Structure 1
Amino acid sequence: MRPARATRLGDMTATPIRVAVVGAGPWARETHIPALSAHPGVELVGVWTRRPEAADDLPVPRFESIEAMLEGCDAVSFAVPPDAQAPLAVAAADAGKHLILDKPIAGTVEGAEAIVAAVRAADVRSIVTFTRRYAPETRAFVDAAQAGRYAGGLGRWISGSLLGGRYSSSQWRQDGGALLDVGPHVIDLLDATLGSITKVIDARVIADDDLWHLTFGHTGGATSTAQLSLRVPARPTVTEFSVHGPDGVVTLTDRTTGSVECFTTLVDELLTAIATSTDHPLDAARGLHIQRIIAEVHRRVA
């Protein structure tokens, strides 16, 4: 069950929620900042960046320290590498701030566990940017898959984004490859459509080409395959999901909804979760579940 879409006028809270962004890279500039700036239920109070000059051309002020940021906001939206996100997210939760977490939510399972523990101890709300899950076309696919009898599935995400372009200079993406960057999206969606992933049946990678081939077992006996790469010169990016079984085949290839619109829906639903004191289905605990699957993949290919 996902929460109902929050009213866009922010009337579920007495005043707009004050949100700060951590990070000033392409993802923060193209999605976080535009969506938060335009949202009627949000006051974007500023950003924090490790390097002051990284925020020089942003349309919002820069906080001089993490401490100053946490004093001036109600929620923190993270657009930084997973290793950097984990300790900052714990500090934010400890300070009573709600969290918008990037994926994967940490660099290790232990880091993800620390975030979940901090969120629960502080009784704050969290939500993870599994971006495509907030698109109506994806939700229609998930609803159809969950309503039918399907025993197998396929998820493919193939692109050349690490060969050049705005994200190719991201060191954590270069180091982690497709498994860390788009893997969480694919794993999450297969898990949502076929039942919780309970084991990694097989995991193989041709590291130089960033070619991943993964096979999962799901609760109830379903199996699925994921094929990932960010070093294949595919233009445009190939994303394809399907499930199959006694009720036929359901597919998803549509990526019509843009990232800003998806992120706006994410914010709507975070506001609902805050106003109703309920956890969102795509919260930090969900992020931890996906983190554990990624860790098992790493263990299998090591």
Structure 2
Amino acid sequence: MTPIRLALVGLGKIARDQHLPAIAADPRFELVAIVSRNADLDGVAHFTDLTALLASDVMVDAVALCTPPQPRHALAHMALAAGKHVMLEKPPGATLSEVEDLRQTAAARSLTLQATWHSRFATGVEPARAWLAERTVRAVRINWKEDVRVWHPGQDWIWEAGGLGVFDPAINALSIVTRILPLPFFLSRGVLHVPENRQSPIQAELDFRDAGGAPIRAELDFLQTGPQSWDIEVDTDGGALKLTNGGAKLWIDGQLMHEGPDREYPGLYDEFARLIADGASDVDVAPLRHVADAFLLSERVVAPPFIE
């Protein structure tokens, strides 16, 4: 099979840590170009903007966008207009309207558009979904707390409007719970803590209820030092489930049931290849919709200034 010729737009931390190894390990893809204003990669054609790549003689079948979300709509629209399949890093866009426009554009051109949620490919997620499908959820607790200085050093875009702040990591938790919970859920109240010198929240507390009335509490923090917390606990009528390490470990009633190596980004590229082969798209915006609801409904509290 002829490999899918892929261009990677954005060569920051997530691209280097996750996308490059996943692409190199999948023979269905060939990395043919890098688009970045500040970085390049030995042996791969380099362009400082997507317009230059699309105007060049480098043949590209698909584009993976690893930029911050704010400029992503324009880049994705440009790639789709040029006949390229598109993978969107999470979150898929700065607004729901942007993503819907891209979905319609891809469909009109019979191109693949993939809104990626890498945490859904963590080892414990699908087994958790299957276990919960046969039980009634009583309560859910989400603790998603990490150190922004470790995971996003010097990345000012994350604090700008559209950068999402603490929801940049917390949307991973929402991507998991929207996948594993049997019933839809809805925000009832929230509190967003926004540093006085920033535009996006650094901490948040959210209270949801699912369609059956079960409470769902999310506590999100971008200032946690030491051990990081990426945990989801679900109480049911048939026992207690817990996902830890961002979904990598699944516990049932305190017993470790599933654990495995990190295969999240290989999972994304496997899905991308299959979607392209099938002429299909996957544009699930449920996690982003919950973030939008949080910005719409939550109380805002002024927090101390954030200093890098």
What's the TM-score bracket when you normalise by the shorter of the two chains?
0.7 to 0.9
Pairing of 1:58-207 with structure 2 (within 5 A):
58=42, 60-63=44-47, 65-70=49-54, 72-160=59-147, 162=148, 164-165=149-150, 167-175=152-160, 176-179=164-167, 181-195=168-182, 197-207=184-194
**1:207 partner SS:** strand
**Quick check: 2:129–2:181 contact (8 Å CA) kept in 1?**
no
* Shift in alpha-carbon separation, 1:125–1:262, aligned structure 2, 3 A: same
Aligned AA (2:239)? G
State the TM-score, normalized to the length of structure 1: 0.83
Aligned residues: 276
Residues 180-210 of structure 1 deviation map (CA, whole Å, 9 limit, x = unaligned): x112211122222224645311111222382
1 CA distance for matches of 2:47 and 2:230? 38
What letter is aligned with 1:215? D
Distance 1:269 1:122 in 2: 20
Q: Distance in 1 between matches of 2:159 and 2:42?
A: 26
Is 2:243 the counterpart of 1:252?
yes
Q: Distance in 1 between matches of 2:169 and 2:175?
A: 10
Max Rg structure: 2
Tell me which residue corresponds to 1:8.
Answer: none
Structure 1 vs Structure 2: percent identity of aligned residues?
26
1:6-33, Cα deviation, whole Å (9 max, x unpaired): xxxxxxxx31111110101111111112
2:288 alignment partner in structure 1: 291
Using a 3 Å threshold, how does the CA distance of structure 1 residues 200 and 114 change in structure 2: closer, same or farther?
Answer: same
The runs of 5 or more residues in structure 2 that have no matched partner are 196-200, 249-258, 301-308
Any unmatched runs of 5+ in structure 1? 1-13
CA 1:59–1:177: 2 relative to 1, 3 Å: farther
Q: What are the residue-to-residue correspondences of 1:208-227 with 2, within 5 Å?
A: 208=195, 210-227=202-219
- Contact map agreement 1:195 1:219 (CA 8 A) in 2: no
In structure 2, relative to structure 1, the CA distance for the partners of 1:216 and 1:85 (3 Å cut) is same
Deviations 1:122-146 (A, max 9, x none): 2222323322211222222222222
**Aligned AA for 2:67?**
V
Asked if the contact 1:101–1:127 (Cα under 8 Å) also holds between the matched residues in 2, the reply is: yes
User: For the structure 1 residues 58 and 85, does the alpha-carbon distance in structure 2 shift closer, same or farther, using more than 3 Å as the test?
Assistant: farther
- The residue that corresponds to 1:273 in the other structure is 275
Moved more, 270-279 or 60-69: 60-69
Match of 1:36 in 2: 23
Helix, strand or coil: the match of 2:141? strand
Larger proportion of helix: 1
Stretch deviating more after TM superposition (224-233 or 124-133): 124-133
Shift of 1:119: 2.1
Given residue 202 of structure 2, which amino acid in structure 1 is its aligned partner? D
Deviations along 1:232-268, one digit per CA (max 9) or x if unpaired, are 22x2311111211211211111436565x31112111
TM-score by length of 2: 0.81
* SS of the residue 1:62 aligns to: strand
Q: Pick one of 233, 240, 249 that aligns with 1:242.
A: 233
Do 2:145 and 2:224's aligned partners in 1 also have CA atoms closer than 8 Å? yes
- Does structure 2 retain, via aligned residues, the 8 Å contact 1:112–1:291? no
CA 1:184/1:58 → structure 2, altered by over 3 Å: closer, same or farther? farther
CA offsets 1:273-293 (integer angstroms, 9 cap, x no match): 2212334xxx22x13x33222
State how far apart, in whole Å, the 1-side matches of 2:274 and 2:25 are.
Answer: 18
More strand by share: 2
Per-residue CA shift, 1:68-96, capped at 9, x if unaligned? 53462111111111111121112222322
Change (3 A) 1:258 1:66: farther
SS of 2:2's equivalent? coil
Residues 9 and 50 in structure 2, CA contact (< 8 A), matched pair in contact too: no
Q: Deviations over 1:24-77 (max 9, x none)?
A: 11111111122112311101111112x2xx224555221354235346211111
Alpha-carbon distance in structure 1 between the residues aligned to 2:41 and 2:270: 27
Q: Residue in 1 aligned with 2:198? A: none
Q: Contact conserved, 1:204 with 1:213, CA < 8 A, in 2? A: yes
SS in 2 for 1:182: helix
Aligned-partner residue type, residue 114 of structure 1: D
Given that 1:154 and 1:190 are in contact with CA atoms closer than 8 Å, whether structure 2 keeps it comes out as: no
- In 2 relative to 1, CA 40–110 (structure 1 residues): closer, same or farther, beyond 3 Å? same
